[in-house]
Amino acid sequence: MKRTFILLTSILVLSCNQNTKTNQNENLETESNTKNETEMTGNLDWLTGNWKRLNEEAGKETFENWEKISPNQYSGIGFTIQKGDTISQEKMDIIETNGKWTLFVKAPDEKEATTFEMAELKNNEFTFVNDSIDFPKKIRYWIEGDKMQATISNDEMEIPFEFEKIK
């Protein structure tokens, strides 16, 4: 009887320890998932600010201004000025819904925004794609030193952008 009691107690203790370890692992996974989501959201904060294009054609000035609206939304405006007039403009929004990031780009004369789905997100870099349009199919942004780089491309061509932050 005493042996049976000791055996049952040992099994119960081992079982409780295993449950505690399982709960600790589940808590660590939850913390890890939350951290990953936070890191991914925070990963776009480097985009915020006012940027001026360095490699623009002579006689033109291009700017992008980005702000963080919420942990899951960034809003930007890009525009080009020539001889004091705005010759092009586009509104950009990067929005996360259900763990999925989407880039919306809309010019003033367009009825609806063109959407791009996030294909890659790394530290200080992201890529969005839309294979259903001719150009651009891919939009990529990244930080290189104190400059922001971007490219818009399809299978045949790529246009590079280099920006510096306006202080």
Residue 54: which CATH number?
Answer: 2.40.128.20
Q: How many structural domains does the chain have? A: 2
pLDDT exceeds 90 at position 36: no
Q: Taking a C-beta distance cutoff of 8 angstroms, is the pair 61, 80 a contact? A: yes
| Dihedral angle, C-alpha 122, 152, 72, 101, nearest 10 ° | -80
* Residue 79 CB neighbour total at 10 angstroms: 15
Surface-to-core class of residue 3, CB atoms within 10 Å of its CB (0-12 exposed, 13-18 middle, 19+ buried):
exposed
Q: Which region among 29-33, 78-82, 107-111, 139-143 has the lowest average model confidence (pLDDT)?
A: 29-33
Q: How many whole angstroms separate alpha carbon 63 and alpha carbon 147?
A: 13
Do 51 and 30 fall within a single domain?
Answer: no
pLDDT of 43 reads 78
63-98 residue pLDDT tens: 999 999 999 999 999 999 999 999 999 999 999 999
Reported as a pLDDT band with limits 50, 70 and 90, residue 103 is very high
pLDDT of 15 reads 42
Do 87 and 107 fall within a single domain?
Answer: yes
Instruction: Tell me the percentage of the chain whose pLDDT exceeds 70.
Output: 75
Interior/surface letters 105-141, b for 16+ CB within 10 angstroms, e for the rest: bbeeeeeebebbebeeeeeeebbbbbeeeeebbbbbb
Question: Residue 16 belongs to what domain range?
Answer: 1-42
Do 11 and 55 fall within a single domain?
Answer: no
Do 105 and 146 fall within a single domain?
Answer: yes
Do 23 and 83 fall within a single domain?
Answer: no
Do 98 and 86 fall within a single domain?
Answer: yes
Do 90 and 8 fall within a single domain?
Answer: no
Mean pLDDT over each residue of the chain, to the nearest integer: 83
pLDDT exceeds 90 at position 41: no
Do 28 and 108 fall within a single domain?
Answer: no
Per-residue pLDDT, averaged over 103-121, amounts to 97
pTM score: 0.75
Do 26 and 104 fall within a single domain?
Answer: no
Do 120 and 147 fall within a single domain?
Answer: yes
